[in-house]
Amino acid sequence: MPESFPILISVAAEDAGKRLDQLLATRLEDVSRARVQEMIAEGLVLVNNAAAKASLKLRGGERVSVLGEAQRTPLKAIAEEIPLDIVYEDDDLAVINKPAGMMVHAGAGATDDARNRGTLVNALLHHLGSLSQVGGPLRPGIVHRLDKETSGLIVVAKRDEAHRKLSAQFAAREVKKKYVTLVHGWVKKDSGTLAQSISRDRVRRTRMTTRLEGGRTAVTHYRVVQRLDTKFGKFTMLDVKIETGRTHQIRVHVAAMGHPVVGDTMYGAPRQARGQSAAISLQRNFLHAAELEFRHPRTGETIALKSELPEELREFLRKAQGE
């Protein structure tokens, strides 16, 4: 959000019928709808110089004034006793096999409620005791991220120096990461590179898109492992390596190719894969961070780790193939 206030917005005729909070969430850069609602509740948004509700239906022609950002109590991550699959650990770092359904850390817009509970960071604080503070109080130890519904390997730093050196490896694209994904349809080429830039969707702020100009560079390499022809439709198993680590990068790139990740309804996958007399579904994305390789930040030794597909993904494959 810009630092200078007030922000003045003229409501266009084509915005007639929209809710006030909906309009502001699309007009204010990097501000979620929940955050907008907080600002409105604190009286920081005026419509024609009068206080308004988030649910106000706009008619077009109004002048909206945003007076400032909502104030909130600073949060920090809290330790929680949550099971963790730690595949590697030493005094400098740890590598975790994260399950799908677990957020890596609470978002900056979280309040002291369920969104600040059950995260990987909270579990790490309980199991490891101390983490690097480079990432701040909500993201201690976090060097890189995996989406909530993506499983697999993630490295975390215990010490600040380790954090900085690992971050430098990621920035220099020296860390090797391989993902396994199952996508809808048969991918035509046996291998390829996807290099569309990625931006935040201007309408649906939780989504990313390749359809806008001026996005951030993103490079994804894929290789076909297997093409499946099942009674529930055609699927392709891919090995994927990424040079960059943009938000939702693999999911956005394969969806733009016309082959969304199985289970990823945000980017166009159906809720169920249907056959003539039955259907199967997956309550997560079929995307798994299977391999991770980096240099140890203190010793320089190569650390190379692998993670097998979790049971729920193997079960989906068995069902799809009629086993």
Rounded to whole angstroms, the Cα distance separating 100 from 303 reads: 23
- The pTM (predicted TM-score) of the whole model is 0.78
Q: Which residues pair with 193 in a beta bridge?
A: 221
Contact between residue 35 and residue 96 where contact means Cβ atoms under 8 Å apart? no
**Chain position carrying tokens 């005026």:** 46
What is the tens place of the pLDDT at every residue in 53-79? Answer: 999 999 999 999 998 877 665 567 889
Tokens at 263, concatenated: 């289970």
Residue-range domains of the chain with CATH: 7-66 (3.10.290.10), 86-171 (3.30.2350.10), 176-320 (3.30.2350.10)
pLDDT of residue 106: 80
Cα 287 from Cα 270, distance rounded (Å): 16
Element at 178 (helix H, strand E): strand 176-184
Distance CA 153, CA 80 (A): 20
What pLDDT sits at residue 33? 84
Distance CA 117, CA 77 (A): 8
Integer distance in angstroms from the first to the last C-alpha of the chain?
A: 52
SS3 254: helix
Listed in order, strand segments (DSSP E) in 145-286 are: 151-157, 176-184, 191-194, 199-200, 208-209, 220-230, 233-242, 273-274, 279-280
Report how far Cα 117 is from the mean position of its chain's Cα atoms: 17
pLDDT at 111: 47
Which parts of the chain have pLDDT scores under 70?
A: 1-4, 30, 71-75, 107-115
Q: What is the pLDDT of residue 115?
A: 58
Whether 36 and 19 have beta carbons less than 8 Å apart is answered as no
What is the predicted pLDDT for the residue at 282?
Answer: 97
Length of the chain, in residues: 323
Residues in Cβ contact with 47 at an 8 Å cutoff, skipping those fewer than 6 apart: 20, 56, 58, 62, 63, 64, 65
Q: Which residues are catalytic?
A: 147
Q: Which residues contact 188 (CB under 8 A, 6 or more apart)?
A: none
Quick one: which of 256, 278, 276 has its CA closest to 268? 256
